[in-house]
Structures are given as C-alpha cells and as structure tokens.
A = this chain, B = another copy of it.
Amino acid sequence: MLTDEYRYKILKELQQDPDLSQRELAKRLGISLGKANFCLKALIEKGSIKADNFKNSANKTGYLYLLTPKGIEEKVTLTQRFLQRKIAEYEALEQEIEQLRREVKA
C-alpha cells in the first residue's frame, strides 16, 4: 500500500534523480522491487509523476520519472505534513527517553 511516507520519499528521490531504475529506487527506500513498482504506478496513475520515454541521460533504457506540476505541489504539501509529524515524534521520543532513563536508574 502507498502511505504518505513512501509517497513523500519517492517524490523526493525522483525529483532529485529522475533517471532512477525501480530497482535502485527500491533499494534506496528499503522496499522490494514489487512494492516500488506498485507505488510508482499509483503515483503515475494519480498524475503526480509522468514516465517519460525520452532518455537523454546516460541510461538509455527504462524511463525518466518526472514530477508533474501537481507532483511538485504535492511534494511541498507532503514535506510540510511530514515535518509536523516528525516534530511530534521528536517530542514524544524525548518523553520516552526520559522515562527509560528513570527506569534504568531504578
């Protein structure tokens, strides 16, 4: 399934590196090839990414996965949402660590 986390990560990776095989993408995200393929297709389906056959990069086979305007906008939104979530996690983690420290002492 395509969570916000993977949506964000895929958009981020492809924005900075559009010529990226699904295998390499999968490796970077720590997921399987099948899942990478599934998520990527979902993003293409929703119009966030366009798979371009025109290859002017070193790798002539495969696609160029380009973010559409909608995809770029989506990535901004996701980044902000992600930042908020991470800040919340950060604070929760602070509490948890303090609790663990108390536990270790006892």
Contacts and interface: CB of A to CB of B under 8 A. Distances in A.
B104 A97 contact: no
Total identical chains? 2
B97 A87 contact: yes
Contacts of A90: 90, 93-94, 97
Contacts of A79: 100, 103-104
Determine the main DSSP class of A at the interface with B.
helix
A89 B96 CA distance: 11
Contact of A104 (B80, B89, B93, B94): B80
A31 interface: no
5 contacts: A79-B103, A86-B93, A86-B96, A90-B93, A93-B93
